[in-house]
Amino acid sequence: MGERSLLSVVVLVGLWAAAAAQTVGYENPACDGKTVIVHLFEWKWTDIALECERFLAQAGFCGVQLSPPNEHAVITSDYPYPWWQRYQPVSYKLTSRSGTEEEFIDMVHRCNAVGVRIFADAVVNHMAGLGRQGVGSAGTSFETEPLNFPGVPYTEEHFTPKDICPSGDGMVNNYGDPYNVRNCYLVGLTDLYGATDYVRERVGEYFSRLVDIGVAGFRVDAAKHMWTEDLEAMMTLTSDLNTDQGFPAGTRPFFYHEVIDRNDGAVTVQEYYGLGRMTEFRYSQKIAWGIQDPGQLQGVYDPGWGMADSDKAFVFVDNHDNQRGHGGAGDTLTHKYPKDYRLGVAFTLAQPYGFTRIMSSYDFGEDSDAGPPHLSDYSTASVVVNSDNQCDGGWVCEHRWLSIYKMVRFRNAVADSDWWENYYSDGNVVAFSRGDKGFFAMVKYGTVTQTFQTGMPAGTYEDVVSCQSVTVGSDGTVEISITNEEEPVFAICVGCDCSEPPVVTATPEPDRTTTTTTTTQGPTEPSITEGIHRTVVFMYKQTNDGQDLFVRGGIDGSQRPGCTQDAATDPCAIDITTNSLGTSSHYDKYNAWRDGDTRLDWMGAETGQGTYNSQEASGTPLAWTSSNSGNAGYQDLNTYGDHYWMVDMDMDCSQTEDGWFEVKAYLTNAGNGWEGDISQTGPCSGTAGGSAHYTSANHLGRCGFVNAFVFDSSNCIIDAFP
């Protein structure tokens, strides 16, 4: 077997003994019976957290597969910021194109809190590709020649020695030789030497760090190119799932391994049995062939072709690779053919083979290298959800298509019924029962009205997709009508109905122009989410003598948990520096009260904040202004009229929520002082208007812009600075 294999056997003797004492459960996603994962490809962590709360939990999804959360190379030459830069690790630090470590932790905790599990795409076969150097997404320097990744750290001895690669150039080029596949560099990516304890320990630490945060499992990228004993060692070194995040004690992480096996090489999915589930790429081919010729669909599981057993298989219609023509692609259904794609995914969710993941994509057009929808600086754009609960701004969001997310409910309901009965196909219609738990049918062409044997108990049922009510007779038969329109499927199940899950409607955010579409959502101004930028707040209020207006704010605790009563350290407060509006006596109060005001917070006067005639401030001060140049309070930024109270400040936009912050006015000498709750559900007008990605009982403004509000009203205008 060679020197490397003998070393691995010796190391595994101890590992097997350790593993025997642990609960083996790498095939268990810990989802309380829910059976569908969605891959939110290249989404930001903040958007994933929202999607867990507003849609996925209510729709019955088991969990979310993330893009790799680790630090990655930032690639600007040849292809500007391509999707595949995420698969070129620089370190295991948790700052990536999707967000910071703090945002990652918040996302994991918020998703777990609503019962949606997080599965990280783990790139541990290799680091960044040869010929690259620079600074990664977390600011860590690296060089691939020499092999120097100080963020881990990895150096030359931690990479597979070239002399054990049987290819002449050190690259994978012969899939008929397992030593070539596993001991050589895959497409020039620097191959980690998984036989060494050091590499195994670093990967185990990375896995354990994610598990300790609350991650439930991993998709292991390029697992086909890793020796199974190396993988098992890394997995054995990984902690049990975190009980503080709702997992039972002793639960092992869920693992599913990318093993592209089309019965065409030396490496097979069966070699990975016992290590979790294996990605079954042959299913993608089978489902594509079957949608073209429905008579083939009963044979999507073909053990004669070497396909993994059902309890080992991880299946999907498409993934981020093969929808782009990579990773064993060829015959693959994608969102670009929506009618056939709906049929393929609905059928996948109805049939019993394997554990299922569905894809949620962005539109990449004809550019298979294109990164996600982005702003002008190539930072990832927020996902836009329109009033019809479908996505826009370059995001496709197949998981929100009716016949897809409604079928998640069906799959969950029939999950413990692993057989299909009463199978029927005539080349156009496909129908079958899932025992006595459910019945599914779909039509490829035209309208079909037909009687089917369902095998289900007699009674009245609702089609979970179309909501048509049908009656199953005492003999188990039902007459149904299916039309090949937008959602050409029919499904009934015991205990199911077609009610919509409660969905929080979001509106488009500003400037969602992408690399792949010319559509711009809302105004043309991009969100400002980093750095310190001038920000102005106007608040319209006609006051009485002796009354002054202040604002308090930051981020509300319902959006950002962990608020405290200490303004200096409160994570819900935002750093500001207030600017002078002038030196005339008209601004004496404002200038006195803004002295020492360094935080937009909810508490009132800060320690050391200035006073005026012994009067303490009641928050961040505003000054009365006018748009009339003849008035003492004239300000050229006030284009709105009299009685618009104003504060001019420099704000740290990185402390906002994707560029948005909250304020509420406080009026002195007016009872309790606070204005009422605000229902700012519609988009703000103005040259930089739009809506935040979340709702609040406060005014929502944009960092880096001029924001005009009305006391006790949801009216809002957001303008760019002239």
Question: Catalytic residue positions?
Answer: 221, 258
Beta strands in 253-334 (DSSP E): 254-257, 277-279, 313-315
With CA atoms as reference, report the closest residue to 350 among 271, 434, 226, 429.
Answer: 434
Question: For residue 624, which amino acid is it?
Answer: W
Distance CA(69)–CA(244), nearest Å, equals: 21
Instruction: Please give the structure tokens belonging to residue 138.
Output: 């977390």
Distance CA(562)–CA(641), nearest Å, equals: 39
With CA atoms as reference, report the closest residue to 711 among 677, 684, 687, 681.
Answer: 677
With CA atoms as reference, report the closest residue to 677 among 702, 713, 715.
Answer: 713
Parallel/antiparallel/unpaired status of strands 277-279 and 133-135: unpaired
Q: Who contacts 100 (Cβ-Cβ below 8 Å, separation ≥6)?
A: 45, 94
Which residue carries 């944009």 as its tokens?
Answer: 702
Within 10 angstroms of residue 114's Cβ, the number of other Cβ atoms is 13
Q: Who contacts 276 (Cβ-Cβ below 8 Å, separation ≥6)?
A: 26, 27, 235, 254, 255, 256, 257
Instruction: Please give the structure tokens belonging to residue 468.
Output: 């048509």
φ and ψ of 674, to 5 deg: -75, 140
Instruction: Please give the structure tokens belonging to residue 136.
Output: 């990664």
SS3 state at 451: strand
Q: Who contacts 586 (Cβ-Cβ below 8 Å, separation ≥6)?
A: 623, 624, 632, 633
Distance CA(390)–CA(338), nearest Å, equals: 14
SS3 state at 436: coil
Rg (CA), the chain: 29
Distance CA(203)–CA(94), nearest Å, equals: 14
Distance CA(277)–CA(48), nearest Å, equals: 24
SS3 state at 62: coil
With CA atoms as reference, report the closest residue to 371 among 37, 73, 140.
Answer: 73
Specify whether the CB–CB gap between 370 and 398 falls below 8 A: no
φ and ψ of 539, to 5 deg: -130, 115
Find out whether the peptide bond into 161 is cis, omega within 30 degrees of 0. no
Distances (CA, A) of 644 to 42, 45, 618, 633, 699: 42, 37, 18, 10, 15
CA 127 to chain centre: 23
**Would you tell me the crossing angle of helices 338-350 and 402-413 to the nearest 10 degrees?**
10
* β-strand partners of 154: 149
Distance CA(221)–CA(157), nearest Å, equals: 22
